[in-house]
Chains A and B, each alone.
Chain A
Amino acid sequence: MNNLQSISYFYPELILTLVILGAIIYDLFIDKSFSGRVGWVVIIGLVFVSLVVHFQKDLRVTTLFSDAIVLDPFASFFKQIVILATILVSIVSLFSGELDEYRKGEYFALLGIVTFGLFLMVSSIDLIMIYISIEIVSIISFVLAGYLKKKARSNEAALKYVVYGGFSSGIMLFGLSYIFGLTGSTNIFEIQQIVSQLDPASSTALTLAILMVLAGFGYKISAVPFHFWTPDVYEGAPLSITAYLSVAPKAAAFALMIRFFNQTFADGGAMKGLDSVSLTQLPWPEILSILSVATMTLGNVVALQQKSIKRMLAYSSIAHAGYMLLAMPVMSGDSIYAIMMYLVMYLFMNLGAFFVVITVKNKTGGESFDDYKGLGWEMPFVGAAMTLFMVSLTGLPPTAGFIGKFYIFASLIKGGSTYYWLVVIGGINSVVSLYYYLKVVKVMYFEGERTDKILFPSNVLTGTLIFTAVPSLFLGIYWNPIASWIQNSLVFFIQNL
């Protein structure tokens, strides 16, 4: 479809752009103390965008802008996930004490731009577009990570993020150039066609290219060994941004990875809901297996030793990327389904955990385990919600986290005996993770003085906690609606050349 025709299929992004522009202009005319209102503009705009995305599902599956991006239910699914995460984070940001001394207008405008970048990420099918979308997201994330201008930690986080980001996207670009050099195309469908006919002698170059491209993807989902930025950035960035970074860009990067690996190096069968067959002898499933095992093991083992809950959650989010990566090497319809299921569950439980950290920081100003002593008695609701999030992140039934893990493990067992060892390692990792998640629960209930004074967080924070806690529990008991939503979203754009 040419550029002019594409416009009419591009409404969500166009409306989002208008919302961003509106937010920036509105911010110019209001006093700093009211700058939070910009947040509501963005939130309402995003709700509207979400509706438009929802009604787009009846449109035909097609490519836009001369095969740069696609419009398909798979992309729409991830767009909704991103919108939900952005809305929740925006609401909480309005009540996060950390941001109080700063003007919030551009903060929300920037969140909108990241969302725009993520929209492109989940729908791009062209190497150039892939790179540009990742860069849009990265550059805005750098700014957001350093939003607390007066805090050295936040500045440090932004700088580290820039250095690592620049480095890994450089490597990725280099890898993409290899692929372009070997195939002469930037469109992933054409690449798929040519890769399968390539001279076997070029497989070393392609393997190198995969490794280099993985540096870019791995950086976005914070997979080992591209994770080094994660703990420091997560620790220094404002809590609301940490929460956001741990969910939305990860989800989009997984969408991108699924598209890229399934479409370029396999026959795309998974995109039709079938098991896909690797087109080449390239060892990408093995590389991904090793990556996932390293990621979750390192994340879990290092998380055991953390003293700050924020940092512990940073490592835990690395571990969760590892669990999701587990299903990647199988690359069957079921495994993509499992990753999508996991992302939905992870969205609620991980955001919820970070929202509790924000609530506690508003109260005590700290993020270490000591600040949580006796929390379960002092703020029973927050304590109970945090317990639920921790249990869910461990993956115990009957919570959402268990269903996520269950689907991942199931897809691996179904994938055949090549993957059984991954299940065993994944299982042992969940047991290890229990220790540090329960440490939070232990501190909240078993330590500290019991007080008779009961505190509650502000109404809106309570609301967001309920909004994340209820799905964290009930999606573990009844997840049929989510299951059918994912089933319907498992429709990809396929181009047969």
Chain B
Amino acid sequence: MDYNILSWLIWLPVIGVAAIAFIPRDKFDLIKTVSAVVTGLQFLLTLVLWNNFDSSIGSIQFEEKYEWIPSFNIEYYLGVDGLSIPMVILTGLLFFIGVFVSWNINKAVKGYFALFLLLNTGVMGVFLSLDFFLFYIFWEVMLLPMYFLIGMWGGPQREYAAIKFFLYTLFGSVLMLIGILGLYFSCGKTFNIIELTQVAPEALSGLLWWGMSAIKVIWVLIFIGFAIKVPVFPFHTWLPLAHVEAPTAISVLLAGILLKLGVYGILRVNYGLMPDGVYWFSYALALLGLINVVWGGLCALAQKDLKKLVAYSSVNHMGYSLIGMAAVVAAGESHGLNMKAAQAGLGGAVFQMFNHGTISAMLFILVGVIYERAHHRDIEGFGGLASQMPVYTGITAIAFFAGLGLPGLSGFISEAMCFIGAFPVYRWIVIASTIGILLNAAYFLWAFQRVFFGKLNKKYTDLPEINRLELFTVIPLLIITLFFGIYPAPYIDLIASTMDTIINHVVSLGSYASM
């Protein structure tokens, strides 16, 4: 493929922004249509990319590389591999759906969709860039649109939520920038992530920063940057607020894609560049995963606001991913070269990213649907909706079951994979995190019961059923959830060889001893 497809993926939304800039600001439908066309085209391109992607190769494909700032050795370097391609497709899908979820936005429509598309460019750019400088730029490009989207179109506490989100993320990015510069100067002055993956493990070993191993320091600096995005306890406090205040479509994107950037970054950067650090940190990673699972579950259980419950469920679900990631060390010598466990764990973590992306997107859309009608999200304030909105109830039931990891739905497979992978290494953590599964089931089922069963609240006797537009946004996600729940093989095949590359890289280059 020689058509610079990756560049098109990134810059298509910017073309959309330029087009929107020329549309008069009261032509709402035209602006929305342009956004739908642009994101639709982008989604189609991701499918084309998928079609041409060779999943038997575990390395970078569709490379694009140009000189950018030679004096600092900065390149415009794009590429895609098995780790990023599912995320790229998910980005294409969710932004396309996001346009329709935002269809009833009618305040400053022009600004909203311009920022929406700008956010799209940022997210796509992060997943596709393989130059650290470029990566960082896209990473930060996401922040300002997000700030405006939450702060201008959000709920009552939106300004506070927006600035909190911004400050938290910026704090993380600044630490990350220091880490990036540290890597640049200690690994032969390059920002090329693929080159760094080869050079860094050796260049960093034995190097001291502040009398500590440079690997540890840089690992922690970069990890915090990503952990805030995931979000890993204790950096998660921005998330419930941002989710609750953001408009529905933005919550969908925040949970569906933006949280994945953190996990993606850890796998791409921390795992790739500092395999020694993986050994050093994996136990802590699993432990943080456990805390996320239990803490997120407990918090979700205590929520009165349906959207906040879904937000905390994200904290809970990303915990499984962390536990799965930590299982990579199973393939090392100290754990008896258990390659199968490592594959299950890492594959599960990456699969969980995708599944949580679709499931939480679905949950947020559904919460948005009910909020649109009732103008509140108080769990106790509903009751008996099952008789009033049967279709909505049915879909929500499937989404909730997917969220609690019911077998037959995609969430179950990835969670099970994470646990299977981690079990040989972190036995007690896996056992303890089953508490999280219980909590997970409890908060979803309890919320479902309170909202849909019992006596119908008299206020809601004329609540309209879920409409076609809303169905259009939910159904594709529902199908994906069902499909991967029954037949996950296509996904596993897509990522498998890249996962093996990562595992082999970590295991062959990393060991605790060399720190």
Q: What is A's interface to B at a CB cutoff of 8 Å?
A: 391, 396-398, 402, 406, 409-410, 413-414, 417, 420, 423-424, 427-428, 430-431, 434-435, 438, 442, 445-446, 450, 478-480, 483-484, 487
Contact = CB atoms under 8 A, between A and B. Distances in A.
Contact of A438 (B72, B166, B177): B166
A431 B171 contact: yes
Contact of A446 (B151, B170, B184): B151
A349 to B, nearest CB: 15
A480 B69 contact: yes
A412 B301 CA distance: 48
B152 interface: yes
Nearest to B68: A478
Interface string B51-81: 0000000000000000011111000000000
B167 A427 contact: no
A435 B167 contact: yes
Given A391-B144, A396-B140, A483-B71, A431 B181 contact: no
Interface in B363-406: none
Contacts of A484: 71
Given A397-B136, A430-B174, 18 more contacts: A396-B144, A398-B140, A406-B177, A410-B184, A417-B210, A423-B178, A424-B178, A427-B174, A431-B170, A431-B171, A434-B166, A434-B170, A438-B166, A442-B151, A445-B151, A445-B152, A446-B152, A484-B71
A424 to B, nearest CB: 7
Interface in B186-227: 208-210
Contacts of B170: 396, 430-431, 434
Contacts of B167: 431, 434-435
Prevailing SS type, chain B contact patch:
helix
A397 B185 contact: no
A391 B175 CA distance: 18
B214 to A, nearest CB: 9
B147 interface: yes
A402, A409, A438, A479, most chain B CB atoms within 10 A: A438
B69 A427 contact: no
Contacts of B209: 417, 420
Contacts of B71: 480, 483-484, 487
A428 B171 CA distance: 7
A398 B137 CA distance: 6
Interface string B128-139: 000000001100
Given A409-B177, A423-B178, A398 B144 contact: no
Prevailing SS type, chain A contact patch:
helix
A152 B89 CA distance: 64
B174 A431 contact: yes
A398 B76 CA distance: 14
23 contacts: A396-B140, A396-B143, A396-B170, A398-B140, A398-B141, A402-B140, A409-B177, A410-B181, A410-B184, A413-B181, A413-B182, A413-B185, A417-B210, A420-B209, A438-B147, A442-B159, A446-B152, A446-B158, A450-B108, A479-B69, A480-B70, A480-B71, A484-B71
A409 B176 CA distance: 12
A366 to B, nearest CB: 22
B437 interface: no
Contacts of A427: 174-175, 177-178
Q: Which A-B residue pairs are the 10 nearest by beta carbons?
A: A427-B174, A397-B137, A413-B181, A397-B140, A431-B171, A483-B71, A431-B170, A398-B137, A414-B185, A396-B140
A497 B72 CA distance: 35
B100 interface: no
A141 to B, nearest CB: 35
B32 to A, nearest CB: 20
Contacts of B163: 435, 438, 442
A431 B169 CA distance: 9
A227 B405 CA distance: 61
B148 interface: yes
B368 to A, nearest CB: 22
A177 B90 CA distance: 70
Contacts of B141: 397-398
B123 to A, nearest CB: 15
Nearest to B217: A420
Nearest to A387: B144
Given A397-B141, A442-B159, A413 B152 contact: no
A483 B69 contact: yes
Nearest to B148: A445
A398 B140 CA distance: 8
A215 to B, nearest CB: 32
Interface in B401-422: none
A345 to B, nearest CB: 14
Contacts of A450: 108
Interface string B73-98: 00000000000000000000000000
Contacts of B136: 397
A340 to B, nearest CB: 13
A484 B159 CA distance: 42
Interface in B275-315: none
A431 B144 CA distance: 14
A409 B185 CA distance: 12
Contacts of A445: 148, 151-152
Contacts of A423: 178, 181
A398 B148 CA distance: 17
A413 B178 contact: yes
Contacts of A420: 178, 209-210
Contacts of A434: 166-167, 170
A423 B171 CA distance: 13
A43 B152 CA distance: 42
Contacts of A398: 137, 140-141
B221 to A, nearest CB: 9
Contacts of B177: 406, 409, 427
B306 to A, nearest CB: 26
A341 to B, nearest CB: 11
Nearest to B179: A413
A397 B163 CA distance: 17
A450 B109 CA distance: 13
Contacts of A391: 144
A435 B163 CA distance: 7
Interface string B331-373: 0000000000000000000000000000000000000000000
B140, B170, B208, most chain A CB atoms within 10 A: B170
A63 B212 CA distance: 48
A479 B174 CA distance: 21
A409 B210 contact: no
B166 A446 contact: no
A147 to B, nearest CB: 37
Contacts of A479: 69
A402, A413, A420, A423, most chain B CB atoms within 10 A: A413
